Every structure is written in structure tokens, then in C-alpha cells.
Amino acid sequence: MTKTDPEVRIPDPIDLDRAEEDRLRAAAGLAPVRPERPEYAGFEQVGIPDRPPETAREMEVYSLAEGEMLLNMGPQHPSTHGVMRLLVKIRGEVIVDIDPVLGYLHRGIEKLCENATYTTVLTYVDPMDYLSTMHNEHAPAIAFEKLYGVRAPKRAEYIRALVVELNRIFSHGLMMGFLALDMGGLTPILYSFINRDEIVDMLSAISGQRMLFNFFRVGGVNFDVNDEFISRLGTWRSHVLENIEMNEWMITENEIFTARTKGMGTLTGQEAISLGVTGPNLRASGVPFDVRKAHPYSIYPELELEVITQESGDSYARYLQRIAEIKQSIHLIDQIVDKMPHGPVQAQVPGIIRPKPGRAYGAVESPRGLYSVYAISDGGPNPYRFRMRDPSFISLQAMPKVMPGRLVADTMAVMASFDPVMGGVDK
């Protein structure tokens, strides 16, 4: 095999198209697509990427000082929580700058929803943040109920809160596992999956699916609770605390784990608020903001709920925060099961609803933060605009804030503690 001649530069197909297009435009007397910018002159091959920078932020990231190197923790990577590209500028092992490149999992869900009826939209949003499916459905359900002017019956709201809390438990449990896995511990993830499997079996008994539940409807839920669900819930409840504790024994007091997470990725409360981080990440930095308490929805005003916070705001605090929230959710489930009233589970709503033109906003507390939906209706069977605000997207913006100065090895640990899910980030 011959070595590649370093003088010969094999052009990237994108370059060819761009160059070709510019040539044609010049021949037709038009300006090139991307105008020449004198401040980017001389920006040749840096390694990554293969075109000059186009924004000031890119300029900042791609300009290398002496001894720095651009490393691509690329879209294909064993542990970037999905497909995400992290452009890391490192000097040796120390990170100087980090630039998340997103959009590899974009599926055009918001646009798809513009061509779907309101009930179909509730199935399209399932695979967004695929580890918190019930929350993904809850927010649009609230928004559409506001648009249409219907309230779900009490029993439906209780069932909604029940499945939503179950979803929160297994999502936080998985975060524990993923955090340990990204640090090299191979077994806590499997213990988390034991817990998740039980919950997901339970939810499949009530909704018919194990992951993308399609359970919520405008005006209530699809099915009522059945015996199978109750029996599985009881079995699960009897040993869930031992399960969580077993997993905690593996991780929480482990010296290696604490040495790697204490003091890492510290986000102060003020920084978190200015970035827009919400959810357990925010509460771990000491800010007591919980959507269930601040903007109450569903039946949360009737439940005993207190907002837990941690003080330090580092990765360890985010981890402890999630464990505390698991225990809080278990307590909430106990209350819900005690207080559930009888009644119908779905309001009388036609199959295809045509709400009057208007706008509505629905926000829920998902395991990753504030998840909200803004829907605009134009009177037809499809929403005019369906916009989702996903918390993982915002949490990832905190990475360039907390990472510089840390080592490459910390990247994954800190990112896992923020618990992003790429499905939600890219929609």
C-alpha cells in the first residue's frame, strides 16, 4: 500500500460542491455563497474541521495555540449518551475548550407534528427523550387540553402522576448506572437495568408497550389500571428500596468514585440559572426550583412534596440529588396509590379534535429538567406549530462552562452526571 502523498489533498465532496457552486455563481455574476472574510484568511487545515470557521465561537475553538490539539470525541463513541460530537481542545490531558456539536439524531419531529392530528402528535413525541417517555407525552397533553378546553378526570390525573413518577424512578436509576459505566464500573448499570426491567414490565401491563408507551390521550389516559399492573406494582414496591440500596453500596461511598466526582464539574447556582439548566442539575447546585412546586400541574398540589437540594453543585451532588429524588418518587407513589379515586379515565373527546385557534403552553418536571411544549392551533385538525423545549439541550450548554481546566478523562464523568439524552437534544 502506498503512503498518501502529503502534497495531494483529496478534496472533500462538500468542498467540491461549494467550490463548484461558487464558480457557477461567479460565472453568472453573483456573489459566492459564503462571502470571503478577511479575518478568516490563512485558516488552512487545522486537522478538524476542513473548512474555515464561520462564526466567532468556531474561530475561538479552532484557533490553536502552541501545544494544543483538537480531539474529536466523535459521533461514534462508546459513551456519549447517544450520537453527539464533542470537539475538545486539549493541551496534553488538560481541556482548554470544549464544543458540543449536536444534531446527529435530528428526526424532524416538530415538523412532522405539523402534519399529524393532535392524538398522533402524542405518539410522535414518545421517542424524543426516550428514557422519559411519559413526561414527553404529559407536556403536550397538558398543552392540548388547555387548547381544547377540557380537563382530564381525577382518576386519569392520578394515573398520569403514577406512571410519570415510575418513569422518573427508572430514569434516575439508569443515570446511576451510566455514571458508573462511564467511569469503568461494569456492574451498577446492570443492577439499574434490573430495576428498570421490572418497572417497564409493569408499564407494559398497563399501556401495552415497554418503551414508547403511547399511553396519554388528550383528556386522559388510554387504559385504566388493571390487576396485572397492581400485582406487579406491589411486587416491585416490596423490594425496590433494597435494589436501590444495593446499587448505592456499589457506588456512593466508593473511594474511587468519590475521588472522581467530588469537586468535578462544579456549577454554581447563579451560573446554572443564567444558563437555563433546570431539574436535578439545578437543584444540586442549591436552587430550590421544581416545576411541580413552582408551576403546579396535575394533582401535585394534593401530594406531599418537598423540594430537595444539595449544596455543592458538583457531579457527586448531582448523583446524590437523583438518589434522593428516587426515594421521594417512591414516597409519592405510595401517596398516589393511597389516594386514587374512582372514576373514568378519559374525558369525552372526539377522535380528531379541532381546537379553536389559540396558543397554549404546558410544562412538566421531567427527570432531566423542565420539559415544556408550546402549541399553536389554527382551528384545523393539526397543530400549526408544535415547539418542544428540551432540558438536555440546555444542560449540554453547561459543558463548555464547567469543563475547561479538567482532564479529558473527566469529560465523560461530568457529562454522565448531567444525564443528557440525545433523543431529546436533537428531537
Does 230 sit near other proteins (CB under 8 A)? no
CA separation (Å) from 9 to 15, 16, 411? Answer: 12, 12, 33
Q: How far is the CB of 323 from other proteins (least distance, A)?
A: 15
Q: How far is the CB of 210 from other proteins (least distance, A)?
A: 9
Q: What angle do CA 205, 129, 369 make, to 5 degrees?
A: 110
Does 253 sit near other proteins (CB under 8 A)? yes
Determine the Cα–Cα distance for residues 283 and 317; give it in Å rounded to an integer.
Answer: 9
Does 166 sit near other proteins (CB under 8 A)? no
What nine digits make up the cell of 93?
490531558
Determine the Cα–Cα distance for residues 200 and 59; give it in Å rounded to an integer.
Answer: 46
Q: How far is the CB of 403 from other proteins (least distance, A)?
A: 13
Q: Which CB sits closer to other proteins, 259 or 294?
A: 259
Query: What single string gives the DSSP state of each residue in 352-418?
Result: S--PPSEEEEEEEEETTEEEEEEEEE-SSSSEEEEEEE-HHHHHHHTHHHH-TTSBHHHHHHHHHHH
Nearest-10 Cα torsion for 85, 86, 88, 93: -110
In the Cβ-directed half-sphere of 282, how many Cα atoms lie within 13 Å?
A: 25
Q: How far is the CB of 300 from other proteins (least distance, A)?
A: 27
Does 209 sit near other proteins (CB under 8 A)? yes
Site string for other proteins, 258-297 (x = CB under 8 A): xxx-------------------------------------
Site string for other proteins, 304-343 (x = CB under 8 A): ----------------------------------------
By CB under 8 A, the count of residues binding other proteins is: 55
Determine the Cα–Cα distance for residues 402 and 190; give it in Å rounded to an integer.
Answer: 29
Does 4 sit near other proteins (CB under 8 A)? yes
| Residues of this chain, 189-208, that bind other proteins according to CB under 8 A | 190-191, 194, 197, 201, 204-208
Member of 187, 235, 270, 274 binding other proteins (CB under 8 A): 187
Helix (H, G, I), strand (E, B) or coil at 98: strand
| Residues of this chain, 74-93, that bind other proteins according to CB under 8 A | 77-79, 93
Member of 246, 324, 337, 340 binding other proteins (CB under 8 A): 246
For residue 157, give the nearest of 294, 296, 325, 295 by alpha carbon.
296
Q: Which residues of 26-45 are buried (b: 16+ CB within 10 A; e: fewer)?
A: eeeeeeeeeeeeeeeeeeee
Residue numbers at the binding site for other proteins (CB under 8 A):
1, 3-4, 69, 71, 73, 77-79, 93, 112, 116, 120, 124, 180-187, 190-191, 194, 197, 201, 204-209, 223, 226, 228, 246, 249-260, 407-412
